[in-house]
Amino acid sequence: MDNLIQYATTHQFTVGVGVFVALLIVYVIFKKLIKLALLLILLLLAIGGYMYFKDPKRMPENMLETLQKAKEKTGNVVETGKGVYDKGKSVYDKGKAVAEKGVIYSKELREFMKDSKDSKETTKER
């Protein structure tokens, strides 16, 4: 740490260039995020405008219906993600237990492989 402070005090130009490059990188990232946000807003406005001009009387109903469907699908994705996380955690715990023992017993290996095959079959069914 002392070496870093000493380097920064003796080489101010290098530190200045480093700070400039860091600020430039932050600027570029925020610039892209702002462009992305504006693009999404324009896209939502275009979709809303299309729905309004297509059928002005049903537009509020259609928007609420679309939002409800999106909420349901998001909930389904979250539930699926939780299941994947739980399965990954159990596989991690089994692997950790096997690594701690240092020896893989054939019975445990068969059970682990059986669980792995069952999860693959469940995934294929979806």
pLDDT, tens digit (0-9, with 9 covering 90-100), for 20-54: 999 999 998 888 889 989 998 999 888 888 877 88
Is residue 106 located within the same domain as residue 125? yes
DSSP letter at 78 equals: H
Is residue 44 located within the same domain as residue 68? no
Residue 90 pLDDT: 87
Q: Which of 54, 78, 99 is the last residue of a domain?
A: 54
Q: Which of 15, 30, 54 is the last residue of a domain?
A: 54
Q: Which of 54, 74, 95 is the last residue of a domain?
A: 54
**Residues of the chain with confidence (pLDDT) below 50:** none
Is residue 12 located within the same domain as residue 65? no
Is residue 18 located within the same domain as residue 66? no
| Whole-angstrom distance, CA of residue 67 vs CA of residue 50 | 16
Asked if 32 contacts 39 with a C-beta cutoff of 8 angstroms, the reply is no
DSSP letter at 57 equals: T
Is residue 76 located within the same domain as residue 119? yes
Is residue 69 located within the same domain as residue 49? no
Question: What are 64's two structure tokens?
Answer: 């609420």
- Could you give the residue ranges of the DSSP H alpha helices within the chain? 2-10, 12-54, 59-101, 106-125
Is residue 31 located within the same domain as residue 74? no
Q: Which domain holds residue 23?
A: 1-54
**Count of domains for the chain:** 2
Is residue 123 located within the same domain as residue 71? yes
Is residue 76 located within the same domain as residue 117? yes
Residue 92 pLDDT: 84
